[in-house]
Amino acid sequence: MTVEIEGVKLHLGHPDELTNRWVGQEELMRQLLAAWMVVDDADMPMNPRLIGKPGVGKTTLAYAAAKRLGRDVFIMQATLDTRPEDLLVTPVIEGAGKLRYVASPLVSAMITGGVVILDEGNRMSEKSWASLAPLLDNRRYVESIVAGVKIKAHSNFRFVTTMNDDASTFELPEYIHSRLQPQLLIDFPEKDEEYQILKENLPFAEERVLQYVADFLEQAHAADERYSVRDGINIARFATKLSNLAMGRDHERMALETAVLETLGEEALRYARPHRSVAP
């Protein structure tokens, strides 16, 4: 898809499609949707940031909220090397010295009225954030120096960024902090919610395996470990694969402990070993 802005043709990106479904913690969903809501002609959507440990479902929550609004979702991964123009428009040589201007996922969402998820935004430098400052206030536009155009956001455009609470490489300046509100903290789900997340992601896994992993995560959380439900999904998935290569309950127990060891390391076994008798 292409659009023309101020005589410059921009090639837009395609929206992302995820299969993950948000399970539980409906209050977080309500708060995120409220932040995006416009309640009056004088009102404007907010630009929330989702903060939490890696693997607690920040991106999944943002994606699910966007889908509840019926919007296309564009996901952009922020890194240490993300430059201002990476966020906006990238020129690509297209034969005979011609330039093709390719819109980033963020700009594609702006133009089409979609939702952009800027993943791990606190890995990005202040210089890159500065290029988004006019987008995140009542101006709602960005300026691409490379393409020489000002791009205004569609009225349906919504922005959200995720930030890991242990991976902040750059301190955000106050003028960016004040534009990224509200701050929604995502913590570990309750045990029954984690079990439902495991079941949703691994419908093929044995009930015993899912219960084992849910118990493992509960004990780890009680000890203030940072193991997440994403880790639990990987443990259960690997254990299921290992079990398929052997027969018998003993092999299943061994597969679970091996999966914990190879996924999270030897330290994690302290939360796995007490579960040898979990299976009847």
Per-residue model confidence (pLDDT) at position 111: 97
Give the residue ranges of DSSP H helices in the chain.
26-36, 58-68, 105-112, 126-130, 174-177, 191-201, 207-222, 229-243, 249-264
How does the average pLDDT of the chain come out, rounded? 90
Residue 17 near residue 62, CB atoms below 8 Å: no
Instruction: Tell me the pLDDT band of 94, cut-offs 50, 70 and 90.
Output: confident
Judged against a pLDDT cut of 60, whether residue 274 lies above it is answered with no
Instruction: Tell me the pLDDT band of 280, cut-offs 50, 70 and 90.
Output: very low
Q: What is the pLDDT of residues 185-214, one digit of tens each?
A: 998 888 998 999 999 899 999 999 999 999
Instruction: Tell me the pLDDT band of 53, cut-offs 50, 70 and 90.
Output: confident
Per-residue model confidence (pLDDT) at position 248: 55
Q: Name, in order, each residue with C-beta under 8 angstroms of 20's C-beta and a sequence gap of 6 or more.
A: 60, 63, 64, 201
Q: What is the mean pLDDT of residues 165-178?
A: 80
Judged against a pLDDT cut of 70, whether residue 277 lies above it is answered with no
Judged against a pLDDT cut of 90, whether residue 178 lies above it is answered with yes
Query: Among residues of the chain, what percentage have pLDDT more than 70?
Result: 94
- The lowest-confidence range among 129-138, 188-197, 265-274 is 265-274
Judged against a pLDDT cut of 80, whether residue 97 lies above it is answered with no
Say how far apart CA 228 and CA 250 lie, in whole Å. Answer: 26
Matching CATH number, 2-186, of 3.40.50.300, 1.20.120.160, 2.70.150.10, 3.40.50.1370: 3.40.50.300
Instruction: Tell me the pLDDT band of 98, cut-offs 50, 70 and 90.
Output: confident
Domain residue ranges of the chain, discontinuous segments joined by +: 2-186, 191-275
Instruction: Tell me the pLDDT band of 54, cut-offs 50, 70 and 90.
Output: confident
Residue recorded with tokens 């004990």: 219
Identify which of 201, 132, 129, 159 has the alpha carbon closest to the alpha carbon of residue 65: 159
Question: Whole-model pTM?
Answer: 0.86
